[in-house]
Amino acid sequence: MAIPLEGDVMERQLPVLCPSSQCKDGAIVLGIVLPNNTIAYADQRYKLDASQVEEMQHNAISPEKRFRFSSPCAQCGCAQWVNGKSGGKCGVIEEVLEAPRPEFLPKALPECSIRPHCRWFLQRGEEACSVCRFVITDTAIITEAEAAELVA
């Protein structure tokens, strides 16, 4: 019988991760929002601490407009959680997959630091990964103050 390496055990014990979380202490920076409103994924996991979160939140533009974050999936504790006959699931990825898609979707999946533990991937597989880069957590229209910050 093979004995798992310490890293293997740690990987299996990680919680299922939400790929569209809020900027908060312990969140993982999943990627940065590009000018074309797609995500450029981080090549490794980078966890935020409380001081980094505070610094990011002092900007006039919300961190969720500038970055995508990941944290443990709250399941029923999340407003996006949908209970169904076969149990619960994330409603966000279901809505994204029902929406019209860009005509061209790259065939290769982007590199992603959370894929093995991602709620969307575990729920919908590679189909979720193919559209994930188009999801921006905060899609509210920017204010005048935020626009001024972009120009400055």
DSSP-assigned beta bridge partners for residue 39 = 33
> 0.85 cut: is pTM over it?
no
* Helix (H), strand (E) counts: the chain: 7, 6
Query: CA dist 74 to 19, 27, 44, 119, Å?
Result: 12, 13, 23, 10
Q: Are 151 and 67 in contact (CB under 8 A)?
A: no
Q: Output the six-digit token pair for 130.
A: 């193919």
Instruction: Spell out the per-residue pLDDT of the chain, length 152, in tens.
Output: 334 444 444 445 679 999 999 999 999 999 999 999 899 999 889 999 999 999 999 988 899 999 999 999 999 899 999 987 667 899 999 999 999 877 777 788 989 999 999 999 999 999 999 999 999 988 776 666 666 665 55
